[in-house]
Amino acid sequence: MKFLDQAKVYVRSGNGGAGCVSFRREKFIEFGGPDGGNGGRGGSVHVECVDGLNTLIDYRYQQHFKAGSGVHGMGRDRAGAAGADITLRVPVGTQVFEEDNETLIADLTAIGQKIILLEGGNGGFGNAHFKTSTNQAPRNANPGLEGVEKWIWLRLKLIADAGLVGLPNAGKSTFLAAVSAAKPKIADYPFTTLHPNLGVVKIGGRDFVLADIPGLIEGAHEGAGIGDRFLGHIERCVTLIHLVDGTAEDVVADYRTIRGELEAYGNGLEDKDEIVVLNKIDALDDKTIEEKRKKLEKASGAPVLAASGATGKGVDRILYAVVEALPAVRSKDEPEPAPEQDKSWTP
């Protein structure tokens, strides 16, 4: 399945049905009178967050969604049926934007969340509704209100606890494959990863979701390489794992390149907790590892871990560092604490 994280969609709610002008006329019935029914309400447009979806690929092949219109009212006080609602089903983490792609309408982060995007038009009143003691034979009815239409943007931001960032071929996909059951594409050329990948990591009785995004290069915020659009998928992450290729000639320049792109992108990425890792140490000797690690520590101002995704050396230290950075989550099986009893009270 192709990964699609952004789609432009046209939506329209249904028109309300018109009210009816009708009078009761039956043989051998002395009293008639107005009996025009009300029109039915137009269908509404909903957006619902459902399980089992991880991409917006469905909206590549269908971009127009229209709710049903209400049925007109009829004689004998028969009201028209309401129009059918329509629901856009989206994966967890989907944001809904106005046509300008900047104004946020809703952010759906949990399964079962549902919003009304567009209300259907109200049905019109039939002439029976306007009957009064002074107006016993009204000959007017309301038309139904028209539905509302608009273009919206659906943008998917994956739900992950930690994210992998780094230059192309820094070893992000290898690291993800080593710590989870995910099977990302791994090759010895840049930009092997063309779309984000997710993996569930289990360590020390805890588990968390790790996201791998395509590599960044200098000028990504200006569209160089694949660009920085995929950085949106790590905006929700608590911490970032910054992998630096230990076999590179200048690891400090590589580190600063990624930091510069994160700052240029903004949206809080530059302020997130960061775990700096000197990767691919299996290809280096101990002296070189220590030299490059100290250079990175001086450039980042934080401790630098050394690891190899290919051999697994030092990987557990990184995962435990991620677990420590994540907020503590109480187990679902742990019972709720009993409320403290007032010991001063006695029967």
In whole angstroms, give the CA distance from residue 39 to residue 141: 10
Predicted pLDDT at 332: 39
List pLDDT tens digits, range 56-106. 988 988 999 999 999 999 999 999 999 999 999 999 999 999 999 889 999
The chain-wide mean pLDDT, for the chain, equals 86
The closest alpha carbon to 241, from 137, 160, 138, belongs to: 160
List pLDDT tens digits, range 139-152. 999 999 999 999 99
In whole angstroms, give the CA distance from residue 216 to residue 177: 20
Token pair of 190, please? 């840049």
Token pair of 217, please? 């290069």
Residue by residue, DSSP assigns 212-230 as E-----TTGGGT-TT-SGG
- What Cα–Cα distance (Å) separates residue 65 from each residue in 13, 176, 286? 9, 38, 61
Confidence of residue 248 (pLDDT cuts 50, 70, 90): confident
Q: Which residue has the tokens 């002008």?
A: 21
In whole angstroms, give the CA distance from residue 275 to residue 294: 15
Beta bridge partners of 115: 47
List pLDDT tens digits, range 290-339. 999 999 999 888 889 999 888 888 899 999 989 988 875 434 334 444 44
Query: Domain 162-325 adopts which CATH fold?
Result: Rossmann fold (3.40.50)
Query: pTM for this structure?
Result: 0.77
On whether the CB atoms of residues 23 and 32 are closer than 8 A, the answer is yes
String of b and e for 263-290 (b: at least 16 CB within 10 Å)? eebeeebeebbbbbbbbbbeebeeeebe
Token pair of 333, please? 């099986």
Torsion angle of C-alpha atoms 195, 225, 267, 89, degrees rounded to 10: -30
- Return the CATH class of domain 6-156: mainly beta
Sign of torsion, CA 178 241 320 92? negative
Domain ranges of the chain: 6-156, 162-325
Maximum C-alpha span of the chain: 110
**Could you tell me how many residues make up the chain?**
347
Instruction: Please list, in sequence order, all residues whose beta carbon lies within 8 angstroms of the beta carbon of residue 94, skipping any fewer than 6 positions away.
Output: 47, 49, 56, 108, 154, 155, 156, 157
In whole angstroms, give the CA distance from residue 275 to residue 292: 16
Predicted pLDDT at 226: 67
Predicted pLDDT at 336: 46
- What Cα–Cα distance (Å) separates residue 46 from each residue in 67, 113, 191, 308? 10, 10, 37, 47
Q: Which H or E element spans position 178? A: helix 172-179
